[in-house]
Structure 1
Amino acid sequence: MQCTIVPVTPYQQNCSIIRCQATGRAAIVDPGGDVERVLEAAKNMDAEVEKVILTHAHMDHCAASDVLRQRLDIPIEGPQKEDNFWLEKLPEWCRMSGFPHADAFVPDRWLEDGDTVTVGEQVLEVLHCPGHTPGHVVFYYRPQQVAWVGDVLFQGSIGRTDFPRGDHDQLLASIRGKLFTLGDDITFIPGHGPTSTFGHERRSNPFVADPNYG
């Protein structure tokens, strides 16, 4: 699997384009905006975009999804259905934040814990990791030990939980119980900022470090 990260919107959200090298088919992860830049990056990868996949429904992660769906005639998969209230009010959140307008939309497929998502011939595992939002999911590609974690975990930090239906304890449980248990060597691509590994965050992240680690 090949991956290109395209920071989009004033929030510098890490939109990823992941491409199956066997087939050339690709998925766009969390397209929050800047459609032309994202499509140009896909073209430079010689990627045939077949779907949009979403970790969660905050505007900086999903606002360009329906534009891409209509333009490319592709489906949107994710997040988990508990994020539907964010999607229903997407125009309102954009207006309140001074973000470019985006219409409300419904994904073609809601995702649940244990589901899989295909990208060409490759398979991503779906983990439901609520806390930042109630319907947040993570995509894990086991063959290369890489995970797209949205706004659950960052290098040296964790996702905010002061938004509607955020839950700090639930977020910590998702990180420690769903992500760290996958293994220390797994690289993760967060929704913002640089990549890291689960092991590094277990050692040093002030919010979720394991005092007994190592």
Structure 2
Amino acid sequence: MTYTGDVTRGGEPAVRELTGLTVCKVSVGPTDNNAYLLTCRADGTQVLIDAANDAETLLELIGPAGLTAVVTTHSHGDHTAALAAVVQATGASSIAGADDAPAIPVVTRTVTDGDTITVGDCTLEVIHVVGHTPGSIVLLYREPDGIAHLWTGDSLFPGGVGNTRGNKKNFTSLINDVESKLFGRLGDDTWFYPGHGKDSTLGAERPHLAEWRARGW
């Protein structure tokens, strides 16, 4: 089946085969959070992005291959509800942005801008994006001879940046970081996978950056 990124809680995962990585996207929890299982196609190493909720669902997705790490994109409770259970069941390390780590249930490694996380022989680059939370991180994977992929947590969605709850300073920080560190570095074919809802590309969203900045949310 062609990957669309459309998932519903209790439904089948959406699976996408990239060069080097397999991506499995599922929806969990009462707020339909997205969780992403990344599997190295060379050696089967697995990393989970956001153990958001429904630990049983996530553990079934992980399966007998086990889990090397859970990466948490930011500290909000709807993205961490299953973290402790998944870490306990799998023995995985728990990785999070340094500035959010104190508010996350369990963290064994902190990362910041420019750090890397390995998934077997694949590498994710950490991009620190400040505004939705102080330590929000985005993960970048560049397919060899292919396109870039971003896991953006709640920092970027189709239609706008993440919620900054009316805080103008946080909004300005977030829109500046998203514009410079994501749109300013990466091409229009870059695919991004957000913390809730549908995926999109930077090309589809780029024409609206000025509109987002003007509206202030």
Please classify the TM superposition score into its range, dividing by the shorter chain length. 0.7 to 0.9
Please report how far the alpha carbon of residue 202 of structure 1 lies from its aligned counterpart in structure 2 after TM superposition.
0.6
Equivalent residues in 2 for 1:79-90, closer than 5 Å: 80-87=97-104
Alignment check: 8 A CA contact 1:18 1:27 kept: yes
How well do the aligned residues superpose, as a CA RMSD in angstroms? 2.0
Equivalent residues in 2 for 1:180-195, closer than 5 Å: 180-181=183-184, 182-195=186-199
Q: Counterpart amino acid of 1:83?
A: D
Alignment check: 8 A CA contact 1:115 1:126 kept: yes
Please report how far the alpha carbon of residue 164 of structure 1 lies from its aligned counterpart in structure 2 after TM superposition.
8.8
Alignment check: 8 A CA contact 1:133 1:166 kept: no
The equivalent of 1:72 in structure 2 is: 90
Q: Greater helix share, 1 or 2? A: 1
Equivalent residues in 2 for 1:44-59, closer than 5 Å: 47-59=65-77
Alignment check: 8 A CA contact 2:149 2:190 kept: yes
Q: Greater strand share, 1 or 2? A: 2
Residue 60 (1) aligns with residue 78 (2): yes
Percent identity between matched residues is 37
The range that moved more, 2-11 or 160-169, is: 160-169
Residue in structure 2 matching 1:145, options 148, 153, 170: 148
The range that moved more, 5-14 or 58-67, is: 58-67
* Unpaired segments ≥5 residues, structure 2: 1-20
Alignment check: 8 A CA contact 2:66 2:90 kept: no
Residue 7 (1) aligns with residue 27 (2): yes
1:189 to 1:166, Cα distance in 2 relative to 1, 3 A: farther
Residue 178 (1) aligns with residue 181 (2): yes
Distance 2:177 2:81 in 1: 25
SS state at 1:32 partner: coil
Alignment check: 8 A CA contact 1:113 1:128 kept: yes
Residue 199 (1) aligns with residue 203 (2): yes
The range that moved more, 127-136 or 59-68, is: 59-68
Q: Counterpart amino acid of 2:179?
A: R
Runs of 4+ with deviation above 6 angstroms: 163-166
1:134 to 1:21, Cα distance in 2 relative to 1, 3 A: same
Residue 38 (1) aligns with residue 58 (2): yes
Please report how far the alpha carbon of residue 47 of structure 1 lies from its aligned counterpart in structure 2 after TM superposition.
4.2
Q: When the two structures are superposed, what TM-score results if normalisation uses the length of structure 1?
A: 0.82
Alignment check: 8 A CA contact 1:15 1:28 kept: yes
* Unpaired segments ≥5 residues, structure 1: 88-103, 210-214
Please report how far the alpha carbon of residue 62 of structure 1 lies from its aligned counterpart in structure 2 after TM superposition.
1.5
The equivalent of 2:126 in structure 1 is: 126
The equivalent of 1:21 in structure 2 is: 41
Alignment check: 8 A CA contact 1:134 1:166 kept: no
Superposed CA offset, 1:4-43 (max 9, x none) = 1111111101100011010111111001110111122223
